Chains A and B, each alone.
Chain A
């Protein structure tokens, strides 16, 4: 039995050693180390007021050591971002910005996040002009990153500048047809049009979206918006009916077809009764 135990134990150890050796340098160790540092930092951040400066300095030293030792540029950049966050938590914004800028580099997503964090520090200092310029720079430099994609809408909400956001998302949709980016851009276009109270354009964008991307989520959003706008704002039942008919014609066996058939019947009923529904107080969807 001892022999069997020894043999099986050795097999487990050898496999562990081989897999560890083969996976050496694949970034997992850096990922784990960074997660542990972030875990430690999140504790300090939640006890910000009662944490002495030296504890933060010690944390900063740990991050610096990690950045220096990290074999992967991505993890080093993530560490750099966290170092920036550490100074931002201590309200040392100029120092935080210096650290964020060091994270700007080869990875577009991290670079966009670093610029976004930089802009946030300007906002926290009530320097909107500088923040605005930095946000604009993100839109220009990293339009297709997750961060860059939403910055335009953020600016539009802040400045009520939906025209420029609309142009931005329309350009993106045109440049990246048949992609997730186009789908997301269409949603943002509809949101801009909704905020501009351009009901007809919103309905048309929603129509384009479901005809191009017949996903369950898209249909749900589109049906809610189209029903609400065509009935209460545009009083044009035919518009909704036509969109749903177009969809059924294009996708004859789609699972959403029975729902859309029902919508057509309901809209036809409203039309036949010649109801002029005016929900003056009807809340518009804040987001799609």
Chain B
């Protein structure tokens, strides 16, 4: 086995597993992307007949009837999609990610990666996996509240020049990037939990504590192992931040394409990071 010295080595080892020989390892990625695209499609058609019969009263009550009109419906689309993706992440993406972990463990044991078999094994830990999937959401809720407080404090700065003025600007404009870094940090903190649940058959609470034991001494390797693939999301983040200007230059439909692209990229990042964590865990278990 290659000696693991850097995050790049782990990432290379993980990406080497995604070959046509183990083609079923692509299934979780394909299914997650398919479900998200299907939801995007349904939500895009939500204000139109016949789906409007169900969605129009909901949208009118929650956001206002104006969001049923073009192009405001497209402005609302990312928001509704975000809520839908949370549900999908909790109940579908989480278990399919766990299936990927099981397939990697199978390959490591020189067994074929068969989606159906891995799914059957992973589904036994479904509850633990769903609870694990809730953890980053809880951490994010805490972050949103904390950052909200920071923004409120920054809002009280009335200087129009100097250090405090720039600090205020920074706090306001850095929000998505702070979220991005925080997201990587939280993922790094919790990444070995699904690996432990699937490979070691641990329950969620044991996995939570053992996770920190695995992280001990390799936190920064894990952090950069997650940071590197996550960097592919930065262009999308930039696009999202400038969505209004982009829509003015092109068409309001650009929203749909950006969401579709982000589905592909975020799913690939998610699968890649969990795969790398699995590879690194297996390496650590066998060699250290």
Q: Quick one: closest A residue to B50, CB to CB?
A: A22
Within 8 A of A (CB), among B65-120: 69-71
Q: Give chain B residues whose Cβ lies under 8 Å from the Cβ of A36.
A: 251
Q: Are A35 and B34 in contact (CB under 8 A)?
A: no
Question: Could you tell me if A4 and B30 are in contact, using CB atoms closer than 8 angstroms?
Answer: yes
* Closest beta carbon of chain B to A198's beta carbon, Å: 36
Task: Specify which chain A residues have a CB less than 8 angstroms from the CB of B194 in the assembled complex.
Answer: none
Interface bracket on A: 10 to 19
Contact yes or no, A32 B34, CB < 8 A: no
Confirm or deny: A275 has a beta carbon within 8 angstroms of a beta carbon on chain B.
no
Overall SS of chain B's interface: helix
CB–CB B50/A23 < 8 A? yes
| CB neighbours of B34 from chain A (8 A) | 8, 11-12
| Chain A CB within 8 A of B48 CB | yes
Q: Is the CB of B30 within 8 A of A8?
A: yes
Contacts of A32 in B (CB 8 A): 70-71
Contact B48 A23 (CB under 8 A): yes
Q: Which listed residue, B27, B42, B52, B70, touches A4 by the CB 8 Å rule?
A: B27
**Out of B30, B31, B70, which one reaches A28, CB within 8 Å?**
B70
Cα distance A28–B74 in the bound complex, in angstroms? 12
Q: Mark B47-74, 1 if CB is under 8 A from A, else 0.
A: 1111110000000000000000111000
* CB neighbours of A4 from chain B (8 A): 27, 30
**B residues 8-50 touching A (CB-CB < 8 Å):** 20, 23-24, 26-27, 30-31, 34, 37-38, 41-42, 45, 47-50
Interface centre among B24, B27, B37, B52 (most CB of A within 10 A): B37
Q: A23 and B49 in contact (CB under 8 A), knowing A12-B37, A15-B41, A35-B71?
A: yes
A16 to B71, CA, bound (A): 19
A36: nearest residue on chain B (CB-CB)? B251
Complexed CA–CA distance, A249 and B24 (Å): 71
Residue from B50, B52, B70 within 8 A of A35 (CB atoms) = B70
A31 contact from B38, B50, B70, Cβ within 8 A? B70
Interface flag for A159 (CB, 8 Å): no
- Measured CA separation A16–B42 after assembly (Å): 9
A217 close to chain B: CB less than 8 A: no
Q: Are A19 and B70 interface neighbours, CB within 8 A?
A: no
User: Assuming the A-B contacts A8-B34, A12-B41, A35-B71, are A1 and B23 also in contact, with contact meaning beta carbons closer than 8 angstroms in the complex?
Assistant: yes
In the complex, which residues of chain B have a beta carbon less than 8 angstroms from the beta carbon of A19?
Answer: 41-42, 45, 48, 51
Q: Find B69's partner among A16, A26, A31 (CB 8 Å cutoff).
A: A31
User: Would you give the 0/1 interface string for A3-17, flagging 1 where the beta carbon is closer than 8 Å to chain B?
Assistant: 011001001100110
Q: Which residues in A have their C-beta under 8 angstroms from that of B31?
A: 8
CA–CA, A35 to B48, complex, Å?
A: 16
Q: List the B residue with the shortest CB-CB distance to A13.
A: B41
The distance in angstroms between the C-alpha atoms of A32 and B38, with both chains bound, is 23
Q: Is the CB of B47 within 8 A of A16?
A: no
Contacts of A22 in B (CB 8 A): 49-50
| Chain B residue nearest to A24 in the complex (CB) | B49
Residues of A within 8 A of B48 (CB): 19, 23, 26, 28
B255 to chain A, nearest CB (A): 13
The answer to whether A1 and B50 touch across the interface, beta carbons within 8 angstroms, is: no
Query: Considering the chains assembled together, what is the distance between the CA atoms of A36 and B38 in angstroms?
Result: 27
- Contacts of B69 on A, CB cut-off 8 Å? 31
Q: Which residue of B lies closest to A15 (CB)?
A: B41
Whether B70 lies near A23 (C-beta < 8 A) is no
Complex contact B70–A26 (CB within 8 A): no
Contact bitstring B249-261, A, C-beta under 8 A = 1, else 0: 0010000000000
| Alpha-carbon separation in the docked complex, A26 to B53 (Å) | 12
Beyond A32-B70, A35-B70, is A23–B45 a contact (Cβ under 8 Å)? yes
Distance in Å: Cβ of B37 to nearest Cβ of chain A: 6
Residues from chain B with a CB closer than 8 A to the CB of A31 are: 69-70
- Give the docked Cα–Cα distance between A31 and B49 (Å): 14
- Determine how close the nearest CB of chain B comes to the CB of A106; give it in whole angstroms: 20
Name the distance in Å between B53's Cβ and chain A's nearest Cβ. Answer: 11
Contact B71 A5 (CB under 8 A): no
- Asked if B70 and A16 make an inter-chain contact with CB atoms under 8 angstroms apart, the answer reads no
Within the complex, what minimum Cβ distance (angstroms) separates B20 from chain A? 8
B interface, CB within 8 angstroms of A: 20, 23-24, 26-27, 30-31, 34, 37-38, 41-42, 45, 47-52, 69-71, 251
Give the 8 A-B CB pairs with smallest separation, nearest first: A23-B48, A26-B49, A19-B45, A8-B34, A1-B23, A31-B70, A32-B70, A23-B49
Known: A8-B31, A23-B50. 20 other contacts (CB 8 A): A1-B20, A1-B26, A5-B30, A8-B30, A11-B34, A12-B34, A12-B37, A12-B38, A12-B41, A15-B38, A15-B41, A15-B42, A19-B41, A19-B45, A22-B50, A26-B52, A28-B47, A31-B70, A32-B70, A35-B70
Question: Which residues of A are at the interface with B, using a C-beta cutoff of 8 A?
Answer: 1, 4-5, 8, 11-12, 15-16, 19, 22-23, 26, 28, 31-32, 35-36
Report 5 cross-chain contacts, Cβ distance below 8 Å, ordered by A residue.
Answer: A1-B27, A23-B48, A23-B51, A26-B52, A31-B70
